[in-house]
Amino acid sequence: MQRELEEPPGDKPPQSSPRAPVWEAVPDNLWNDWHWQMRHRLTSVADLMRVLTLTPEEEEGVARALQHLRMAITPYFASLLDPRNPNCPLRRQVVPTIHELQVAQADMADPLSEDEHSPVPGLVHRYPDRVLVLVTDQCASYCRHCTRRRLVGAKQQVMSLEQMNRVVSYVAQHTEVRDVLISGGDPFIMSDRHIEYLLSRFRALPHVEILRLGTRVPVFLPQRITPELVAMLHRYQPLYVNIHFNHPAEITPEVKEACARLADAGIPLGSQTVLLRGINDCPHIMKRLMQLLLSIRVRPYYLYQCDLSQGIEHFRTSVAKGIEIIENLRGHTTGLAVPQFVIDAPGGGGKVPILPQYLISMSEGKAIVRNFEGRICAYSQPEDYHHQCQNDCTYCLEESRCRPVGVAGMLESDQVVLGGEGRESPAPQKGSRRQGSLRVEPLACPVSLHREPSLQ
């Protein structure tokens, strides 16, 4: 960084990744135009063979797996693939193989039960104070490990205006929603105007405190992150962008530039990574990825255990591998480089954090912990600690007007059993969609609470 700052500006052309031979003659202005990249994506066996030497498994995979999830690879990303090595970690993420046709016993079409938690099409309301909006089923390139492969690329469309209005009015009516997460598909394949329309509609709702965008465009199509897009996003802060990164080789000069533009506009960047067999299931690869992400101002956020979506068992690892990776990060490198490892629990269980065991034992007086080196230490707890809160400050008073939820609720109430039949669930029950007006019961703060005056 220091060195780059010292260089006189304009001396050297900005660094760029090498192009595959078929695109060497394309003028820079076209190559750097995201529309050109989108129009020239590889979508067939014949397209791929102009760039890669295919294995029989891949050739058959492209021929047959595309009935389940379409293929598209931007020329920019295709140029990063090793043309001769089918095990190239980037290639395996975008080139289908026949393994996708195998449906494992544990596989599910909709492992996260998103459809069940969808009160209006295109919106998933699973957690108390936030919603997920799926604004399009299109992506710049299609990840072969896509968790939403039941939907993605199927209709090739962006949410209609009418559908969007229904989503916005749902959020408008649900004043407990203070966080709107816009994903897909990939929201950044939409036009600036379309994205701005969405952001402005949500931003106009006084109870929506933050907006989030989930994307892989900075990795597959960094040319899309134009100064115009970034200037528009800047107008809708506080807005967070989370980017799907899986491998250190994805961090090219173009990706650095795209992330720098976003970060320079004051947009906080996070990463989401999927633990994938033969691609990044190695503590050394993962550590380097997380460190490099920090160097381009992307804060590692989640590391996901691969979901149970149909046809992706060949990408799945044991849960143990994720724990081993976290064990190799915490204490060994910058704390900011340690993502939260989660299993997105099947059946709509939501994200469950998984950690190595650090708390060894505990008594009233002591907590015995072990550190990353295996050193065991005793922390003495204060002798006369008792909870002194009178529950009479504004925060507590407002909170107590909401029904307590889940295990946290058990700590504050007389409830002795949680789970099983008749359980408390923040999810709408099956069939509630048919009843028309859906209430997500335990979330129901009667009014918008916890509003800091400064946020209004």
Compare residues 58 and 307 and give the one whose CB is closer to ligand PLP: 307
Give least dist CB 125 to ligand PLP, A: 8
Q: Which of 88, 91, 139, 240 is catalytic?
A: 139
Give least dist CB 75 to ligand PLP, A: 31
Compare residues 38 and 177 and give the one whose CB is closer to ligand PLP: 177
Q: Which of 47, 70, 88, 146 is catalytic?
A: 146
CA angle (143 as vertex; 246, 56 as ends), nearest 5:
110
Give least dist CB 264 to ligand PLP, A: 24
Compare residues 125 and 247 and give the one whose CB is closer to ligand PLP: 125
Give least dist CB 147 to ligand PLP, A: 9
Give least dist CB 258 to ligand PLP, A: 22
Rg of the chain (C-alpha set): 24
Q: Which of 47, 88, 110, 127 is catalytic?
A: 127
Binding site for ligand PLP (CB under 6 A): 124, 126-127, 130, 132, 181, 351
- Is residue 140 within 8 A of residue 224, CB to CB? The reply is yes
Compare residues 73 and 124 and give the one whose CB is closer to ligand PLP: 124
What are the angstrom distances between the C-alpha of 201 and each of 189, 196, 198, 236, 415? 19, 8, 5, 10, 40
Q: Which of 41, 47, 110, 143 is catalytic?
A: 143
User: Residue written as tokens 């107008």?
Assistant: 235
> What does the alpha-carbon distance between residue 37 and residue 76 come to, in Å, rounded to a whole number?
7
Give least dist CB 204 to ligand PLP, A: 21
Compare residues 181 and 276 and give the one whose CB is closer to ligand PLP: 181
Residue 139 appears among annotated catalytic residues: yes
Compare residues 58 and 344 and give the one whose CB is closer to ligand PLP: 344
Residue 396 appears among annotated catalytic residues: no
Residue 451 appears among annotated catalytic residues: no
Residue 50 appears among annotated catalytic residues: no
Q: Which of 144, 148, 201, 216 is catalytic?
A: 148
Compare residues 127 and 170 and give the one whose CB is closer to ligand PLP: 127
Residue 379 appears among annotated catalytic residues: no
Give least dist CB 124 to ligand PLP, A: 4
189 alpha-carbon distance from chain centroid: 16
Residue 33 appears among annotated catalytic residues: no
Residue 216 appears among annotated catalytic residues: no
Residue 282 appears among annotated catalytic residues: no
Q: Secondary structure of the chain in the HEC alphabet?
A: CHHHHHCCCCCCCCCCCCCCHHHCCCCHHHHCCHHHHHHCCECCHHHHHCCCCCCHHHHHHHHHHCCCCCCCECHHHHCCCCCCCCCCCCHHHHCCCHHHHCCCCCCECCCCCCCCCCCECCEEEEECCEEEEECECCCCCCCCCCCCCCCCCCCCCECCHHHHHHHHHHHHHCCCCCEEEEECCCHHHCCHHHHHHHHHHHHCCCCCCEEEEEECHHHHCHHHCCHHHHHHHHCCCCEEEEEECCCHHHCCHHHHHHHHHHHHCCCCEEEEEECCCCCCCCHHHHHHHHHHHHHCCEEEEEEECCCCECCCHHHCCCHHHHHHHHHHHECCECHHHCCEEEEEECCCCEEEECCCCCEEEECCCEEEEECCCCCEEEEECCCCCCCCCCCCCHHHHHHHCCCCCHHHHHHHCCCCCCCCCCCCCCCCCCCHHHHCCCCCHHHCCCCCCCCCHHHC
> What does the alpha-carbon distance between residue 275 and residue 277 come to, in Å, rounded to a whole number?
7
**Residues present in the chain in total:** 456
Compare residues 126 and 244 and give the one whose CB is closer to ligand PLP: 126
Residue 148 appears among annotated catalytic residues: yes
Residue 186 appears among annotated catalytic residues: no
Compare residues 115 and 192 and give the one whose CB is closer to ligand PLP: 115
260 alpha-carbon distance from chain centroid: 19
Q: Which of 224, 281, 307, 316 is catalytic?
A: 307
Give least dist CB 217 to ligand PLP, A: 18
> What does the alpha-carbon distance between residue 134 and residue 115 come to, in Å, rounded to a whole number?
11
Give least dist CB 148 to ligand PLP, A: 10
Active site residues: 126-127, 130, 139, 143, 146, 148, 307, 344, 351
